[in-house]
Amino acid sequence: MNDETSETVSLVRVGPVLVATVDNPPVNALSHSVRVGLVAALQRFEEDVDCKALVIRCDGRTFFAGADIREFGQPVKEPRLGELIDRLDRCDKPVIAAMHGTALGGGLEIALACSYRIAALDARMGLPEVKLGLLPGSGGIVRLPRLIGVPDALTMIAEGGQIGAEAARDKGLVDEVVASDLRSAAIDFAQRLADVGAVRRTSDLPVPAFDEGLLDSKRAELAKRHKGLKAPQIAVDLIEMMTVTPFVEAAAKEYATCRELISSPQSKALRHLFAAERAALKLEDVPTDTKPRDVRKVGVVGPGVMGRGIAACFVDAGFPVILVGRSAESLTKAQAAIRKLYGGSIKRGSMTEAQLDERMTLLETTTSYDGLANVDLVVEAVTENLDVKTEVFARLSAVLKANAIIATNTSFLDIEALASAASRPENVAGMHFFNPANVMKLLENVRAVRTAPEVLATITAVGKKIGKVPVMVGRSEGFVANRMLSKRSREAQFLLEDGATPRQVDKVLSGFGFPIGPFALADLAGMDVMAAARNARIAGMTLREQSCNIVDKLAAAGRLGQKTGAGYYLYGEDRKPQDDPAVDQLLATHRAERGFSAREISDEEILERCLLAMVNEAAKILDEGAAARPGDIDVIWTSGFGWPSHLGGPMFWADQIGIANVKEALDRYSRIVGEEYFKPAALIERLASERRGFHD
Ligand code: 3H9
């Protein structure tokens, strides 16, 4: 019987049990209408003497995924989530939360304030607020440690991870795990309680004793792992606070901190990225109802470093893979190298040798293209040379089935030229992985003019399936990530010519939040690799860029980076970069030959030149249509090249500085470095004159 229904909450009586079912697709966020409906449900439950227990459950794919992120930054609409939760806590009849899917954030906070919690076997629970630069603000911090103890609560709150239903039961977060129909099990559970009316309040529980040294060690660990992020540190402070503060006072402090964090720049940046990552999945000119093609079996051509990593990505996600190489020897080598990729997991104990053997059964190797006749998708990862790739495309066209997709992993070659080399250009696109392919999250998918919409939808869906962050880009030399990176690299090199040291540049950029500076990174990649990459593109460079051959000079001196113990820096046993007077000398000679005199360069100039060169290039990319939205570029840089997430990505960062200030700085560097490098892009000129930002 459907007793009462609000916009998103319906009520049904089953004997003495009142069942409140929430339906607020897609993820049952705790939007205003849900809060109103749940308060009404509680009111009805409290007033009706015949209702002995209340079940709160959700329809659709998940229990509440948390507060409604879209409401953040808007005036708070009553009833607040905290009010609803207080009311649940005070209720003098038992309330049971029945969780399925992902019970997250404010959703889990609702469950924590109920008397009992039951969960479907595959349910997952977490307080992920920290990932949005926030912290639980509706009782998560004051209740969770009371239920599962401080150490586990600290991990869940400060790191934002999820735990499964059985682990949650073992820790005391969940009372019962249900393998059968959750709704019926919840009603049965409630009926049993209805007879005894047993109310339990998490707020009445004491905080279990714990080793206080844990707090400081966690602070140190989090500072290292989440450089520059404020919320994880504040999480530890709040947990320390709740252990010594009366419940009501601690809950008020928790809420006040959450409100403060909602308006903090870090949270705005992280929320921007949350939305941008999801927006990036919505493809321009591809209707949202476009059905991706079925991909069951995958081919990878080219067993080199990239091909091996790509094959591992697919195998990890359970796809059978055929790896095609030119010789049996190269394939045997590749197989051994792929096994080695899992060395770390075996050492850590997160994978057994038997599991690895099983995974490797998904990988088949062959020297014959005929083996690809029944694959649905082939990723081509052969040598970065148009002639070689053109030949591979022709051979693939001869064996593939009509709707098989060819995705090239090219970094710099022209996607249109490659599409023309296939007999069905509508099946051709790019899937640009980043090294190491099995680790790096970013996947630049590339559309060519003739790529079929369903192919674009397929490579996006497949990218998600293999755990990547896919972003669709268009034709452009170096696509988006590498094209922007090349401008940062150019400025880093020019800064050396102008008088900066590798150490100074690296320090400024890692101080900004990049995991590693460009010169330490070059030493890691190898100077021979850097020199080859530079020389492959030298024809398109300006005269100053062509003559700025510091990389070639280091390579010629045998300074290949970490692998030879010397590059921009010297490396000892500990692999820590040390300054080397020989590099100072090499740079001094280079400057003298090129007619530059070293000047004092400020950290501000280093940061602005490196980052604004990227922003200016990104503006050109946007105007050309090679990236669909500024947010896509932010996702590319935060998931691919270590741009600190709490600064939202380059376009978000530029907006925070203000486009008029960006333009003014570009004009200044046009005068100092040269117009051909820093003339503001047309889009920046337009936005500055209209007083708008990239994201407006
Ligand atoms: C919080 O609770 C604070 C409180 O402690 C205190 C307050 C005072 N709100 O990810 P998907 C949308 S903070 C609104 O593609 P999946 C999402 O934008 C919150 N919308 O699906 C997307 O929209 P669109 C703590 C939300 O299956 C659609 O749902 N909770 C929210 O891959 C589908 O999402 C979190 O941080 C939301 N809370 O993953 C959980 N969540 O279709 C954040 C999602 O227009 N959410 N949407 O692009 C997630 O982690 C994942 O979305 C989830 C589903 C695992 C739930």
Closest C-alpha to ligand 1, atom 10: 278
From the list 165, 163, 162, the residue with the least C-alpha distance to 121 is 165
Closest C-alpha to ligand 1, atom 19: 66
Whole-number Å distance, alpha carbon 175 to ligand 1 midpoint, is 26
pLDDT tens-digit profile of 408-423? 999 889 999 999 999 9
- Note if 593 is an active site residue: no
Which residue in 4, 78, 109, 600 is the catalytic one?
Answer: 109
Closest C-alpha to ligand 1, atom 53: 65
Q: Please indicate whether residue 259, judged by its CB atom, sits closer than 6 Å to ligand 1.
A: no
Name, in order, each residue with C-beta under 8 angstroms of 231's C-beta and a sequence gap of 6 or more: 129, 130, 133, 134, 135, 261, 266, 267
From the list 413, 405, 423, 368, the residue with the least C-alpha distance to 387 is 413
Q: Please indicate whether residue 105, judged by its CB atom, sits closer than 6 Å to ligand 1.
A: yes
pLDDT tens-digit profile of 510-558? 999 999 999 999 999 999 999 998 998 899 999 999 999 999 999 999 9
CA distances from 492 to 230, 517, 525, 640 (A): 29, 10, 16, 19
Q: Could you count the other beta carbons within 10 Å of the beta carbon of residue 482?
A: 20
Q: Could you count the other beta carbons within 10 Å of the beta carbon of residue 88?
A: 24
**How far apart (Å, rounded) are the C-alpha atoms in residues 226 and 133?**
11
Atom of ligand 1 nearest to the CA of 278: 48
Residue 1 confidence (pLDDT): 40
Whole-number Å distance, alpha carbon 25 to ligand 1 midpoint, is 11
Which residue in 4, 47, 71, 129 is the catalytic one?
Answer: 129
Residue that has been written with the tokens 């150019």 in this structure:
490
Residue 537 confidence (pLDDT): 87
Residue 652 confidence (pLDDT): 98
Radius of gyration of the chain (CA): 28
Q: Which of 32, 69, 80, 465 to mutate to test the pocket of ligand 1 (most atoms within 8 A of CB)?
A: 69
pLDDT band with cut points at 50, 70 and 90 for residue 73: confident
* Length, in residues, of the chain: 696
Q: Which two tokens stand for residue 85?
A: 């939760």
Compute the mean pLDDT over every residue in the chain, rounded to the nearest whole number: 96
Closest C-alpha to ligand 1, atom 6: 137
- Note if 129 is an active site residue: yes
Q: Please indicate whether residue 67, judged by its CB atom, sits closer than 6 Å to ligand 1.
A: yes
Average pLDDT of the segment spanning 453-466: 98
Q: Please indicate whether residue 277, judged by its CB atom, sits closer than 6 Å to ligand 1.
A: no
Closest C-alpha to ligand 1, atom 16: 27
Q: Please indicate whether residue 129, judged by its CB atom, sits closer than 6 Å to ligand 1.
A: yes
Buried-exposed string 284-297: b where 16+ CB fall within 10 A, e elsewhere: eebeeebeebebeb
Spatial contact of 433 and 443, defined as CB atoms under 8 Å apart: yes
Residue 194 confidence (pLDDT): 80
Whole-number Å distance, alpha carbon 247 to ligand 1 midpoint, is 28
Spatial contact of 458 and 293, defined as CB atoms under 8 Å apart: yes
Whole-number Å distance, alpha carbon 66 to ligand 1 midpoint, is 7
Q: Which of 366 and 74 is assigned the larger pLDDT?
A: 366
Q: Which helix (H) or strand (E) holds 4?
A: strand 2-5
pLDDT tens-digit profile of 189-245? 999 988 777 899 999 999 999 999 999 999 999 999 998 999 999 999 999 999 999
pLDDT tens-digit profile of 98-107? 999 999 999 9
From the list 134, 92, 78, 88, the residue with the least C-alpha distance to 112 is 88
Measured N-to-C along each axis, helices 305-316 and 353-360 cross at an angle, to the nearest 10 degrees, of 100
Q: Which two tokens stand for residue 531?
A: 């020199």
Q: Please indicate whether residue 128, judged by its CB atom, sits closer than 6 Å to ligand 1.
A: yes
CA distances from 6 to 3, 232, 477 (A): 10, 38, 54
The one-letter amino acid at 345: S
Q: Please indicate whether residue 572, judged by its CB atom, sits closer than 6 Å to ligand 1.
A: no
Residue 3 confidence (pLDDT): 58
From the list 267, 238, 261, the residue with the least C-alpha distance to 251 is 238
Q: Please indicate whether residue 133, judged by its CB atom, sits closer than 6 Å to ligand 1.
A: no
Spatial contact of 164 and 119, defined as CB atoms under 8 Å apart: no
Whole-number Å distance, alpha carbon 65 to ligand 1 midpoint, is 6
> Is the backbone of residue 642 left (phi > 0), alpha (psi -120 to 50) or beta?
left
Average pLDDT of the segment spanning 30-57: 96
pLDDT tens-digit profile of 299-329? 999 999 999 999 999 999 999 999 999 999 9
Q: Which two tokens stand for residue 92?
A: 């003098």
pLDDT tens-digit profile of 474-522? 998 889 999 999 999 999 999 999 999 999 999 999 999 999 999 999 9
Q: Which of 22, 24, 27, 63 to mutate to test the pocket of ligand 1 (most atoms within 8 A of CB)?
A: 27
* Torsional sign, CA 101, 441, 487, 570: positive
Q: Please indicate whether residue 126, judged by its CB atom, sits closer than 6 Å to ligand 1.
A: no
| 321 φ/ψ angles, rounded to the nearest 5 degrees | -125, 135
